[in-house]
Structure 1
Amino acid sequence: MDFSSSKDQTLLSLWESVRRQVSADRANGGRSRFVGDNLRSYAELLRSEMDRRELKYTSINSTE
């Protein structure tokens, strides 16, 4: 997946969506089928592009 042509705000919105999914999974006891390797890979690609652009964002800690 290539995020290089995405707008900054789009990337931040996608990141917040991932954060909400992780938060919902934690609230459900970590049993959600949505937070797995695919979401982690997706989040890593997003994070990498946001870092490249030097965007400010809050980290996601899936083990909290």
Structure 2
Amino acid sequence: MNFSSSKDESLLSLWESVRRQMLAGRANAGRCRLVGNNLRTYAELLRSEMDRRELNYNPINWSE
């Protein structure tokens, strides 16, 4: 997935969407099918692009 043509605001919005999905999965005792390797891989791609652009964002703590 290539985010290079995305606007900064779009990347940050996608990042917050991932955060909400992770929190929803945690609230469902981890039973949410969205919280898994695919979501983490997607988040890593987003994080990498946001780091490249030096955007400010709150990291996602996957281990809580």
Q: What TM-score, normalized by structure 2, do the two folds share?
A: 0.96
- 1:13 is matched with 13
Instruction: Write out per-residue CA displacement over residues 11-50 of structure 1, whole angstroms, 9 at most, x where no aligned residue.
Output: 0000000000000011111111001111111000000000
- 2:28 is matched with 28
Aligned length: 64
Code of the aligned partner of 2:43: A
- Check if 1:60 corresponds to 2:60: yes
- 1:49 is matched with 49
Deviates more, 1:31-40 or 1:2-11: 31-40
Moved over 2 A (4+): none
Structure 2 unmatched ranges of 5 or more: none
Q: CA RMSD in A?
A: 0.6
